[in-house]
Amino acid sequence: MTAEDFKAQGNKAFSAGDFETAIKLFTQAIELDPSNHVLYSNRSAAHASLQNYEKATADAEKTIQLKPDWAKGYSRKGAALHGLGNLEGAIEAYEAGLKLEPNNALLKKGLSDVQTALANSSNPIAKIFGPNMWEKIAANPRLSPYLAQPDLVQKLREIQANPQTMNMHLQDPRMMEVLMGLMDLDARVATNEDELEKAQSDAQADIAAREELRTKQPQQPQQSQQRAAKPEPAEPAASAKEEESSEEAEKKRKRAASDEAKNLGNAAYKKRQFEEALKHYEAAWEHDATNVAVLTNKAAVLFEMERYKECIDVCEQAVETGREVRADFKLIARALGRIGTSYTKLNDYKNAIKYFGKSLAEHRTADILEKLREAERIQKQIEEESYRDPALADEAREKGNELFKAHDYAGAVKLYTEAIKRNPLDARNYSNRAACYTKLMALPEADKDVDEALRLDPEFLKAHIRKAAILFAKRDYMRCIDVCEQVTAKDTEGKHTAEVQGQIQKAYFALSQLHAPQNRAETLARAQANPDVQRVLGDPVMQTVLKQMQEDPSSIKTHMANAMIADKVRTLINAGIIAFGR
């Protein structure tokens, strides 16, 4: 694979949110093309997405070093430094980028965000939701699942960018839980509604106190004390608690009844009594219309009954309800994955790919990833087969031949590629493209094409001749001669005699030039730098063989009968170490 291939796959992984894989692919691309500034820029973005801001900064600086007039490099550096909390450095990076592109919207937005963060740096809320916020959330087992909920992550980013928006999001109970976790309040020990209410009240009081200290307004603490001293009516509070307790008890009763019916459905499912299982799941859903697991189990039954469209409908209902009640993201991922599997049964691989991707975005599992790859493989095969048309393939090949004759080899490659897509079973399309690649000195691609042509048609003499031309271009003169001799033996009608003899003459002439006095020093220097040649010369067995061949030239025939020895001898002949005459 080329650096561009690794880069393309890295971009695909990045778009799918698989940042670790993206980093590995960009790194492989960099190993092949270490001077490509775009690769470092892309890897910087992937590191930043994983909050590896130090590595993101290093890659951004390398990007700038390689391409100092590219504004995007400064954008990457600004974002990475912002993540590290180096706000002054981030501002400098964004301003440097804007000097190159004053109207760059991305740079302007980044600079504005950093300036806002710097202005809010004395705000207590800004400190709570500072750069280490993500690390603290990820380290908290209760909070870390929230990182998989895009709507909450967006709210947290908004608060980071502008702490003044905090009050807008306090109605979200998840936000209050995150806030308490970031403030190290022990919300996790709350075992009932009363304790949770008290923890939330403490959190709000703590925010108010910090805000009062920041603004240094003495009358506010006094007012707070007065409000705190004012007794609350005991009876209404008790009534509220009783009401909440009654509601909670009713919820628990419904869930218990729902789980009981669900378990009966599960037992029937295991016995493959599917109709009975469906009845139990219907009853479970009637008891509690928030018990999303009931829907996913029901969908599993419908799938086994091969009622795939109904299965899809139930899974979609599970996803919608799961979002509303903030169900475990793994449960939502399971429903999306089952939708994808149902579409494969309906031979709708485009939709299958779509929903497998959605499932992986919620929660990555090896099973769904494997199903996605298989669906993509089948969809690609379907598209390729629907594109095939031998008549259009012949038309494209003829047009390619015209461009080849006009020496437009790059244009001919495109047309031969189109011919291959239209008819991948015609050896001529691969052989002709191999000829173009040889002219363009893209020898690995040429070799691959001609081998495919010979796989499709082993007796295709033109492909053998092209193989000989590739070997000649690779300076493998002896194998070139061998292939030409094989063609001569098969060409009983002599159609290719002139072309083959011309190739043989060129190969012998090239071999003779290796031993020409004026080229001898260059030949030996090239051989000394060739690791294959040095490996052969360092082989004790070959040292003995070469000595015997020198002392007794008639032993050459015996040694050349051994395929391994013959291959090594050809390497030395091609390198000019051993002279070879006709």
Give the pLDDT confidence of 28-55 residue by residue, as tens digits. Answer: 999 999 999 999 999 999 998 888 899 9
Position 196 scores a pLDDT of: 46
Domains plus CATH for the chain? 3-119 (1.25.40.10), 127-219 (no CATH), 241-383 (1.25.40.10), 522-582 (1.10.260.100)
Number of H helices, E strands in the chain: 33, 0
Tokens standing for residue 169: 């999001």
197 exposure class (CB count in 10 Å sphere: 0-12, 13-18, 19+): middle
Position 195 scores a pLDDT of: 45
pLDDT per residue over 440-475, tens digit each? Answer: 999 999 999 999 999 999 999 999 999 999 999 988
Q: Could you tell me where the DSSP H helices lie in 388-519?
A: 390-405, 409-422, 427-439, 443-456, 461-473, 477-490, 497-514
Position 278 scores a pLDDT of: 94
What average pLDDT does the chain have? 83
pTM assigned to the model: 0.44
Measure CA of the first residue to CA of the last residue in the chain; give whole Å: 40
Q: Is the pLDDT of residue 135 over 90?
A: no
The CA distance from 253 to 251, in Å, is 5
Q: Is the pLDDT of residue 328 over 50?
A: yes
State the residue for tokens 């011919």: 419
Closest Cα partner for 326 from 543, 531, 134, 151? Answer: 151
Q: Could you tell me where the DSSP H helices lie in 133-216?
A: 133-139, 150-161, 166-169, 173-182, 193-215
Q: Which residue has the higher pLDDT, 105 or 472?
A: 472
Closest Cα partner for 380 from 414, 353, 357? Answer: 353
Q: Is 576 helix (H, G, I), strand (E, B) or coil?
A: coil
The CA distance from 564 to 535, in Å, is 14
Q: Region 251-263: what's the mean pLDDT?
A: 90
Kindly state the percentage of the chain with pLDDT values over 70: 87
The CA distance from 81 to 92, in Å, is 10
Position 210 scores a pLDDT of: 52
Q: Region 347-367: what's the mean pLDDT?
A: 91
Distance of CA 242 to the CA centre of its chain: 53
List own/partner pairs for 265-268 with CB under 8 A and 24 or more apart: 265/294, 265/297, 265/298, 265/301, 266/297
Position 359 scores a pLDDT of: 92
Q: Region 462-490: what's the mean pLDDT?
A: 90
CA dist list (Å): 224 to 179, 215, 393: 22, 15, 83
Position 203 scores a pLDDT of: 53
Position 185 scores a pLDDT of: 63
Q: Which of 362-371, 410-419, 502-511 has the highest mean pLDDT?
A: 410-419
Distance of CA 124 to the CA centre of its chain: 39
Q: Region 386-409: what's the mean pLDDT?
A: 94
Q: What is the length of the chain? A: 582
Q: Is the pLDDT of residue 101 over 70?
A: yes
The CA distance from 258 to 57, in Å, is 52
What amino acid is encoded at 184 in this protein? D
Kindly state the percentage of the chain with pLDDT values over 90: 46
Q: Which residue has the higher pLDDT, 528 or 402?
A: 402
Position 225 scores a pLDDT of: 37
If one counts every other C-beta atom within 10 angstroms of the C-beta of residue 231, the result is 6
Angle at 378 between CA 377 and CA 382, to 5 degrees: 120
List own/partner pairs for 496-500 with CB under 8 A and 24 or more apart: 496/461, 496/462, 496/465, 499/465, 500/465, 500/468
CA dist list (Å): 104 to 18, 94, 165, 547: 28, 10, 26, 72
Q: Region 330-348: what's the mean pLDDT?
A: 93
pLDDT per residue over 528-580, tens digit each? Answer: 787 887 888 888 888 888 888 778 877 777 877 888 888 888 788 777 777 66
Position 204 scores a pLDDT of: 56
Position 561 scores a pLDDT of: 81
Position 419 scores a pLDDT of: 95
Position 550 scores a pLDDT of: 77
Position 242 scores a pLDDT of: 55
Q: Is the pLDDT of residue 424 over 80?
A: yes
Q: Which residue has the higher pLDDT, 513 or 483?
A: 483
What amino acid is encoded at 441 in this protein? M
pLDDT per residue over 501-528, tens digit each? Answer: 999 898 888 888 877 777 777 777 877 7
Q: HSE on the CB side for 248, CA within 13 Å?
A: 10
Q: HSE on the CB side for 495, CA within 13 Å?
A: 8
pLDDT per residue over 184-227, tens digit each? Answer: 664 444 434 444 455 455 555 555 555 555 554 444 443 333 33
Q: Which residue has the higher pLDDT, 200 or 336?
A: 336
Q: Region 171-191: what's the mean pLDDT?
A: 68
Position 217 scores a pLDDT of: 44
Tokens standing for residue 120: 């809010």
